[in-house]
Structure formats: structure tokens, C-alpha cells
Amino acid sequence: MIKALQRQLIGSLFLIVAPLSTAADWPRSLFNPQPAEGDVIFPMPCGGAMVFRKILIPNQGPLNDYGIVVGGEDADYAYAEHLRPAHIAGSFDQDAKTRYYLIGKYEVNRAQYAALGSQCQPPAEDQRLPQNNLTWLEAMVFADRYSQWLLKNAVDKLPKDGQQSGFLRLPTEVEWEFATRGGLAVPLARFRERVYPMDDEMVRYVWFEGAESANGKPQPIGALKPNPAGLHDVLGNVDEMVFDLYRLNRLDRLHGQPGGFVVRGGNYFTPQAEIRSAQRIEVPFYVKGEPRRAETTGFRLVMTVPVESSREKLRSLRESWNRLGSVAAPEVPSTPVEAIAAKGLEDPVAELGVISDAAQDLNMKHRLRNVQNRLKVTIQERDDQRKLAAKAALRLGAFLCQKMGTDGKWVDAAETLLRQREAAFGIDDPGVRSRRDRLQADRAALTENLLYYAETILGAAAIYDGQVLGEQFEVLKTELTLKNYQSLLGYADTYYRQLAAYRGKPAVRQRAWLDECKALNKK
């Protein structure tokens, strides 16, 4: 099969010759029928263009990535789509705390595919249809030809990481699914839903089977509403080829046997009830001895960059790798007892390395190295879980601070109103007594919630060290910003400052904490 693919690749390279001359610019409807803020547009031959969207991801360092859960909960498709953990990281720096990769806003259409063919064609509206009926390798060749054209004709417009410019390819399954579900634009609680959040009926977002939707044929790109990440037609219309080979699901991981390639998202023959973000279908590379083509299959591209993009990046990667699975240095001791204990702390991973180096027996040396590696993995998994838990604690603290602020302001207003009614009607008035009873219940609820709020501060201070809390606070701020939860940023900052102050001086200041949360509530 590999040799056959190589022959097809070589043949395709001779068949597809990108013209360097350009015709008149295309009408916008041909390449970006629904312009939006944040669109990233790259030129194409023949006066054309292709539009991409940034998929943002929090950045904590060269070897840190963002954990997500992919797949679905449909029992009938569990062998292929069962929930499993995955990780994703961006290719380019957005800022110091955020990275991104680029994914096509629309499926590659016929005009764009033809622009990298043998000759330019006059723009026409029927060329807005997604390019279908091509092989997986032809899609890859298209990405290669377009990458080469951009690097020769528009390299100044490409994003860079270190010394490397971006290039195009098919998306991986995780890149495709993360973007399809809406990425960080979707609240975590809704990320794993069957389809991305829709403010209208599905027919306004997805071309599926039936006369009320696609009516048995592909539709022009960008005619329907986008998903939360600004992507059109990621579900329905034509299913989309991805880079990965198909593998079965083994509960928490993919099975070891690779097969054909994968298509995602469903197409115009998929029933509405079957549309789902987790759908992944295996497709053979060959059918009846010929490369597989289908009218229902198309593709979109991603732009990424090599991982080892510069010598500086490689040095940083090596340093980050050496820190993986190691025991973090203890914080500066704050008491004599802690200082004495700190002297006895050693890194067990490093200690195992010393012992294995000193071992004379080769078999024992290998066994000790295996133990060391397993210990590093275990420690790293523990640290990753600890970071996620710390971020969850900070997020909970932000929500609790917001609720405390709202409830506290409500109680203050109720107390003021009660004093006014007592002055006007007397303390024995039935209406006054009723309000007094409600206020008493509200005060009790606020006191109980304030106690729970204080317990979260004391608990987080006891469990997590300052470095982990600081790192995860920065990640949380990035997430809240990217998810358009800016209203929570002040509460998150207040909770973190209260927590840091308590860690420095363990004094429970419930009333002061409540007043600080109330001060943020403007209503």
C-alpha cells in the first residue's frame, strides 16, 4: 500500500502545476461569503484567497499542553467514538499566555482547488461548492502545493514560530474535533455535548439529509451559520478527511492497529439524528483496486509549524523535558521545622538514576532505568492532575466570590428596606415581621455560604503550593478571557489574592473577604 501511495503521490505532483500568474481578484462570495472579525486570509494563485480562523489554546511552556476529552457517549458507536482523554497545543504565539493554530473557515471549494491546477479559470458561483470526489493523497498534495506557493509568493504573510514559517496539511482528529466543538469559545460544561451550542434550529447550521436541508446534494460553502469558533459546515455538507489513520477505541485510548483514513462530521446524506461532533468513520484508501473517491467527501486545511522551530526552541524543549516527572524543589521554608525537613528532601527520580548508573549488573541497570521511567511518568501524571484540580479550585472560588457579592448586596439592600419600613409602620407591623423573617433566613444562608467560602480558601491553601496556584491562576485568567467570561476575572483575582494572603499569614477574615466580593458587585 505504501508503494502504491508513493506512486500516486509522484503522479499527482506531475499533474498539478500551480500557475504563478494571477487573474482578477475573486468576488468575496467565492472565498469568504460571511466575513467576520478575526478572519485570517491568505492569497492564492489566480487572484484567489482562502480564509482561516485562529483556534486559541492556553500556553504554559514548550512541553505543556491543554487536556481535553474527545469522543461521545453513543453506545452504538463506542467501539470507535468512546470518550477518551486527549491533549492539544498551539503552533504560534498569540501572546505570552496563548498560542493558536489555524484551521480553514470553510471547506476547500472547487475554485480554490482549481487555482492550484494547470490553469486559472474564470470565477463562477458554482465553484463555491466544496471540492469532493478526490482521494486522501490528492488532498495532501493540494496542501503541499499550496504551502509551496505561499512560501514562494507570500511568505511575509505567514505566521512564524522561531525561524519556521507555517505550512498547510490536513488536520489531525484532535485538531479537527477541538475546533468543531468550538474550542475555548464554548463553556467547559457544554464542550462534550453531542453537537456544538446552537442558538437556532440545527437546519440553520448543518446540511443534513432531507428536503428541508441539503436535499441530497452538496451545498455552497458558508451559506449557513458558523459554529462558536467561526467555522462553517464542520458538521454536514461533505464529510472531511483528516490526517490520522483510523484506529478502534480501547476505552481510554486508541487501539494499536491502524487502518484506512478517517472522515469526520457527516455529510448531506447523514440523517439529522446522526449528526454529532464525535462521528469518525474509517474509509479504505482503495476500493476495487482504485483509489477511493466519493461525492460526499471533501476536506479543509490547517496551518501549523514544525515543533523544533529554532535552536532556542530546541534548547527550551530539552530543559522542559528534563523537568518532567521530577520532584519540584520545596518552597522556601517559613519555619525552623520546615527548614529541618527540607534538608532531608531528595529527588527520588534523580536518586534512581544515580543508583542505576552505579549498578554493575547490566540487567539490574536496565531494570532500575525502567523503574525510574515509570516513576517519572507517575509523578508527571500526578502533577498534571494536581494542576487541573488547582485550576478547578480557583474557578470555583471565583464563582463563589461572585455569588457572595450578589447575596451580600441583596442582604444589605433588604436590611435598609426593613429599617425604612420599621420606621414607617412600626416593628410589630405584619408586613415588617414577614420581611424580618425572610431577612433572617437570608442572613443565615449568607453566613453558611461565607463559611463554605472560607473553607475553600483554607483547603486550597493546605493542598496546593504557591507556584502551582500562581501558574494555574494565569491559565484560568486566559481561559476566562478566551471564553468571554471577563465578568468573572475580577472575582477570580480577588479570590486568588485572598488565598495568597492567607497562605502568607493564616488569618481567617470572613467579613473582609465578603466585603471585597461585594465591592465587585455593581448591582
Mean predicted confidence (pLDDT) in 157-163: 93
Task: Count how many domains the chain has.
Answer: 2
Query: Are residues 26 and 149 located together in one domain of the fold?
Result: yes
Query: Are residues 406 and 276 located together in one domain of the fold?
Result: no
Calculate the CA dihedral of residues 354, 355, 360, 362 and round it to 10 degrees: -90
Domain boundary among 291, 311, 331: 311
3 pLDDT more than 50: no
Q: Rounded to an integer, what distance in angstroms lies between the CA atom of residue 130 and that of residue 107?
A: 6
Q: Rounded to an integer, what distance in angstroms lies between the CA atom of residue 107 and that of residue 227?
A: 14
Residue 267: name the closest of 236, 297, 222, 241 by CA. 236
* pLDDT, position 325: 65
Using pLDDT thresholds of 50, 70 and 90, give the confidence band for residue 18: very low
Query: Are residues 300 and 388 located together in one domain of the fold?
Result: no
Residue 324: name the closest of 384, 389, 385 by CA. 384
Answer yes or no: are the C-beta atoms of 453 and 513 closer than 8 Å.
yes
Domain-embedded: residue 360 = no
Q: Rounded to an integer, what distance in angstroms lies between the CA atom of residue 395 and that of residue 460?
A: 12
pLDDT in tens, 400-418: 899 888 988 999 999 999 8
Q: Among 336-340, 343-347, 495-499, whose mean pLDDT is lowest?
A: 336-340
Answer yes or no: are the C-beta atoms of 121 and 112 closer than 8 Å.
no
Residue 136: name the closest of 16, 313, 5, 24 by CA. 5
Domain-embedded: residue 510 = yes
Domain-embedded: residue 419 = yes
Percent of the chain whose predicted confidence (pLDDT) is above 90: 51
Nine-digit cell at 106? 470553510
* pLDDT, position 324: 67
Domain-embedded: residue 59 = yes
Query: Are residues 307 and 387 located together in one domain of the fold?
Result: no
DSSP reduced 3-state for 302 = strand
For 87, the enclosing helix (H) or strand (E) is strand 84-88
- Tell me which amino acid residue 418 is: L
Answer yes or no: are the C-beta atoms of 110 and 96 closer than 8 Å.
no
Domain-embedded: residue 341 = no
Query: Are residues 162 and 294 located together in one domain of the fold?
Result: yes
Mean predicted confidence (pLDDT) in 52-61: 91
Query: Are residues 180 and 303 located together in one domain of the fold?
Result: yes
Domain-embedded: residue 327 = no
**pTM value surpassing 0.85:** no
Residues 6 or more apart from 124 whose CB is under 8 A from it?
111
pLDDT in tens, 131-146: 999 999 999 999 999 9
Q: Rounded to an integer, what distance in angstroms lies between the CA atom of residue 16 and that of residue 130?
A: 18
Query: Are residues 94 and 212 located together in one domain of the fold?
Result: yes
Query: Are residues 46 and 191 located together in one domain of the fold?
Result: yes
Query: Are residues 411 and 304 located together in one domain of the fold?
Result: no
* Helix axis angle, 2-15 to 136-153, nearest 10°: 50
Query: Are residues 256 and 147 located together in one domain of the fold?
Result: yes
Mean predicted confidence (pLDDT) in 118-124: 81
- CATH number for the domain spanning 23: value is 3.90.1580.10
Query: Are residues 264 and 387 located together in one domain of the fold?
Result: no
Using pLDDT thresholds of 50, 70 and 90, give the confidence band for residue 175: very high
Domain boundary among 311, 328, 346: 311
* pLDDT, position 11: 43
Domain boundary among 282, 311, 340: 311
Per-residue DSSP letter, 291:
E
How many CA atoms does the CB half-sphere of 347 hold within 13 Å? 16
pLDDT in tens, 473-495: 988 888 888 887 888 899 999 99
Using pLDDT thresholds of 50, 70 and 90, give the confidence band for residue 463: confident
* pLDDT, position 399: 87
Mean predicted confidence (pLDDT) in 503-513: 88
Range of the domain at 508: 383-520
Per-residue DSSP letter, 133:
S
Residue 44: name the closest of 52, 54, 55 by CA. 52
Domain-embedded: residue 504 = yes
* pLDDT, position 4: 47
Domain-embedded: residue 359 = no
pLDDT in tens, 437-446: 998 999 898 8
Query: Are residues 391 and 290 located together in one domain of the fold?
Result: no
